[in-house]
A and B are shown apart, each in its own frame.
Chain A
Amino acid sequence: EPEVTQTPSHQVTQMGQEVILRCVPISNHLYFYWYRQILGQKVEFLVSFYNNEISEKSEIFDDQFSVERPDGSNFTLKIRSTKLEDSAMYFCASSRGGNQPQHFGDGTRLSIL
C-alpha cells in the first residue's frame, strides 16, 4: 500500500540554524500538509498546499516557516532560524482531494539544542 515517507526520522540542530524537513507524499495525491506535535501535546495543523501554493496556514506558521514542492515528488518544510520551542514531531500528510482522507507519514523528530 502506498505511503507517505519522511526524512530524516530524527534531526538535531543548533538553535538559530536553518532546517529542512523532507516528505515524499503518495504519488497520485494533490494536497499536502504539515502538522506538528510537541511532546505530550495535541497534533496541530501548520499548513496546507495545493497547486503549488499555500491554501491555508495556522498562526503557528509564521515568517520563519516556508514550504516548497521543488520537484514532482518531494514536499519540504523549512524553518529559517530555529528556536528551542520548535522542538517537536513534524508530520507530513497528503490527500487525493481537499475533502478526502489525509494519510500521514511517521514524522521527523526535530530536537533544537
Chain B
Amino acid sequence: DAKTTQPPSMDCAEGRAANLPCNHSTISGNEYVYWYRQIHSQGPQYIIHGLKNNETNEMASLIITEDRKSSTLILPHATLRDTAVYYCMPGPGAGSYQLTFGKGTKLSVIP
C-alpha cells in the first residue's frame, strides 16, 4: 500500500502562501495524488488531484516532483477560513475506490 508522510502541524500568516508538503515515495505509477481538507466539525472537502503534471484550480495549486515521490499543495493567499487539517493520499483506482486518510497536517492560519 502506498503510504504518505506529512508534517503534523504548520503555521501560516494570513495573506501569505501556505505550502504543505507530502511525501509519497511508494505511490505507484498510475495512482493519482489527492488532497482533501477537513475544517473542524465538517466533512472532508476535496481540493485538487494530479498524476504527473502540476495542477491549479480555484482553491489551490499542486506541484508534483518529477519522480512523483513528493508533492506540495499551495494555497496562494491563506485566509483564516483555510485553518484545517490537510490530507494527501493516493487516489482511488485499480479496483479499489476507497480513500485512505492519514493524520494529515494541521494548518493554522494566524492573523
Q: Which residues of A contact B (CB under 8 A)?
A: 4, 31, 33, 35, 42-45, 48, 55-56, 58, 91, 93, 95, 98-99, 101-107
Residues of A within 8 A of B46 (CB): 101-104
The complex places the Cα of A95 from the Cα of B93 at a distance, in Å, of 12
Chain B window 70-111, contacts with chain A (Cβ cutoff 8 Å), 1 for yes, 0 for no: 000000000000000000000111001111111100000000
Question: Is the CB–CB distance between A58 and B49 below 8 Å?
Answer: no
Q: SS class of chain A's interface: helix, strand, loop or mixed? A: strand
Q: How many A-B residue pairs have CB under 8 A?
A: 54
The complex places the Cα of A4 from the Cα of B100 at a distance, in Å, of 20
The chain B residue with its CB closest to the CB of A102 is B99
Instruction: Tell me the count of chain B residues lying within 8 A, CB to CB, of chain A.
Output: 21
Q: Pick the contact of A106 from B34, B43, B49 — CB < 8 Å?
A: B43
Q: Pick the contact of B101 from A43, A58, A101 — CB < 8 Å?
A: A43
Q: How far is the CB of B5 from chain A (nearest CB, A)?
A: 14
The chain A residue with its CB closest to the CB of B94 is A99
The complex places the Cα of A44 from the Cα of B93 at a distance, in Å, of 17
Given A43-B101, A48-B97, A102:B92 Cβ within 8 A: yes
Residues of A within 8 A of B96 (CB): 56
Residues of B within 8 A of A4 (CB): 43
Residues of B within 8 A of A45 (CB): 98-100
Residues of B within 8 A of A33 (CB): 97-98
The chain A residue with its CB closest to the CB of B87 is A43
Question: Is the CB–CB distance between A107 and B43 below 8 Å?
Answer: yes
Q: Does B9 contact A (CB under 8 A)?
A: no
Most buried by A among B43, B93, B99, B100: B43
Q: Does B21 contact A (CB under 8 A)?
A: no
Q: Does B53 contact A (CB under 8 A)?
A: no
Question: Is the CB–CB distance between B43 and A98 below 8 Å?
Answer: no
The complex places the Cα of A95 from the Cα of B32 at a distance, in Å, of 15
- Other A-B pairs, 4, CB within 8 Å; known A95-B92, A99-B93, A107-B43: A42-B101, A45-B98, A93-B43, A105-B43
